[in-house]
A and B are shown apart, each in its own frame.
Chain A
Amino acid sequence: MRRATNDPWQLRYLFIGTLFGFVLIFLVFPVVVILVEALRNGVGFYFSTLASSHSLNAIRLTLLVALAVVPLNTVFGVCAAWTVTHFKFRGKALLISLIEIPLWVSPVIGGLVFALIFGRQGWLGSWLDAHNIQIMFAYPGIVLGTAFVTFPFVARGLIPLMQAQGSMEEEAALTLGANGWQLFWRVTFPKIKWGILYGMILCNARAMGEFGAVSVLAGSVDSNMTMPLQVELYYQDLDQGLPRAFALASVLLVLAGITLAIKIGLEWRRLVLAVRSH
């Protein structure tokens, strides 16, 4: 913690005041408003909204999408981190940059690209039609778009972690006779498991909250409404829709809160361990 030795107290109060003001207006009020509006029509209305078939389907679909996307991106992230950390090859920096592309690109593009491949007028559109396979406006499409948007999260957390850890323990294990799988499970995995968890919860939060890509890929088909899309649907329903939107949004908010809590917990733990080992 740094000593604020030199800043005049007026400046300090101004800065802290501005910070609090900003945080209040932009961060605290939105959270409060969601909770207040969700309960505006009473607790009964709140729970009946959540129990309605629309909401339940939305929750179910969101969970199913996350269930597909998070493991896939996690396996990829671990693979990519292993490749980048333990081997020397040309184009490593390029590979890392390519992996980060989805972070820079609008989520709508994430949906657009798959629409261009699997949509009716897309590259594979007529072939899919002929074989009666539904990707666009269906679960597989939504999974693909969400996978695109959340693609780098696990890899991005693991690569710097594993690079900092180095290859020495793995080399030692190699001289002791361990094969590839033993190396990974016995030596590497215990070192990175918290890093994996960290990446997974970020990936999960983003996957469940994804809106742009899913808007494109879900169309307006009822059964394709994930939670964020259902929130929008409720919002557009001028008859009693608004409190319903807030009710469902509060579920997502709770999810965000849990994500934040785990994230902070992991970061605090990392800090504590770093201090202790010195």
Chain B
Amino acid sequence: MSVAVTHISKRFETFPALRDVSLEVETGELLALLGPSGSGKTTLLRVIAGLEIPDTGRVTFAGEDVTDKSAYERRAGFVFQAYALFQHMNVYENIAFGLRVLPRRKRPSEATITQRVTELLELIQLEEHGKRLPSQLSGGQRQRVALARALAIEPRVLLLDEPFGALDARVRKDLRKWLREFHDRTHLTTLFVTHDQDEAFELADRVVIFNEGRIQQIGVPAELRKNPRNDFVRAFLEV
């Protein structure tokens, strides 16, 4: 499913987080939003998810305007930077949550839920951990559960907010590889936010560089390196 945002602006009190941002994401693309902290990339992700309401501009999913739809209606899978797992539910229940809260007509049977959750547990390689509580898991494990939870609702687009930020280097490398393979397999439109240039360049089909609430440049990694459009991009990529 393609995603497009047009002329999005958002300010918090007096701080302009996004200034007239427009972007088109192609179906099945793996897109990185890259930039220093405060540049607006997380805010844009939250706007797309429906967790922030932009002051101006529209958001469309596959051509359909979803700007006035709540997060609840958009079916965008969101993975928070701090995982936001439900602390009092075990791993199984966390992943099953999205299925359990479906309206009665659409809700799958218990057996179906069990099947789906088991599949997802296998996908994230945590089959034995279904009964564990989030507090009993490591950072990397929690991250995978957060991913599985978002995937359980079969979202049309996957949004990841600094997914590997709080993890140590080796875990990060493993998860990066996993994400790339997962994406290659499923071709689910995915956007992820990062401030790590290597990560963005290694994973993404295209990279969007942000600064001060504006998009500085969009392009495939090789192109960005060869032809940085302005001083900021040049300096940012050099470092």
Q: A174: CB under 8 A from chain B?
A: yes
Interface residues on A, range: 10 to 19
Instruction: Report if A44 contacts B (CB, 8 A).
Output: no
Closest residue on chain B to residue A175 by CB atoms: B78
Q: Is B51 a contact partner of A176 (Cβ separation < 8 A)? A: no
Decide yes or no whether B15 CB sits under 8 A from chain A. Answer: no
Best-buried of A177, A186, A187 by chain B (most CB within 10 Å): A177
Contact present for A176 and B84 (CB under 8 Å): no
Q: Which residues of A contact B97 (CB under 8 A)?
A: 173, 176, 178, 186
Interface membership of A172, Cβ < 8 A: yes
Q: Which among A178, A187, A277 is the interface contact of B72 at CB below 8 angstroms?
A: A178
Q: Does B124 contact A (CB under 8 A)?
A: no
Contact residues in A for B84 (Cβ distance below 8 Å): 168-169, 171-172
Do residues A176 and B70 form an inter-chain contact, with CB atoms below 8 A?
no
Which residues A154-198 have CB closer than 8 A to chain B? 168-169, 171-179, 182, 186-187, 190-191
Chain B nearest Cβ from A32, distance in angstroms: 43
Interface status of B163 (Cβ within 8 A of chain A): no
User: Most chain-B Cβ atoms within 10 A of its Cβ — which of A171, A172, A174, A182?
Assistant: A172
> Are B72's CB and A179's CB within 8 A?
yes
Are A177 and B102 CB-contacts (below 8 A) given A172-B78, A172-B80? Answer: yes
Chain A minimum-CB-distance residue to B76: A175
Give chain A residues whose Cβ lies under 8 Å from the Cβ of B149.
Answer: 172, 176
Residue of A nearest to B95 (CB): A176
Quick check: B101 and A179 within 8 Å, CB to CB?
yes
Q: Which residues of A contact B87 (CB under 8 A)?
A: 169, 191
1/0 contact trace for B46-77 toward A, CB 8 Å? 00011100000000000000000011100111
Contacts of A175 in B (CB 8 A): 49-51, 71-72, 76-78, 150
Query: What are 10 pairs between A and B in contact, CB < 8 Å?
Result: A169-B84, A172-B86, A175-B50, A175-B72, A175-B76, A175-B77, A177-B98, A186-B86, A191-B87, A191-B88
Instruction: Please give 14 more A-B residue pairs, beta carbons under 8 A apart, in addition to A172-B149, A175-B77, A191-B88.
Output: A169-B84, A169-B86, A171-B51, A171-B80, A172-B78, A173-B86, A173-B97, A174-B50, A174-B71, A175-B51, A176-B98, A176-B153, A177-B75, A177-B98
- Shortest Cβ-Cβ A-B pairs, 10 listed: A176-B98, A172-B84, A175-B78, A178-B101, A168-B84, A190-B88, A182-B101, A174-B71, A175-B71, A177-B101
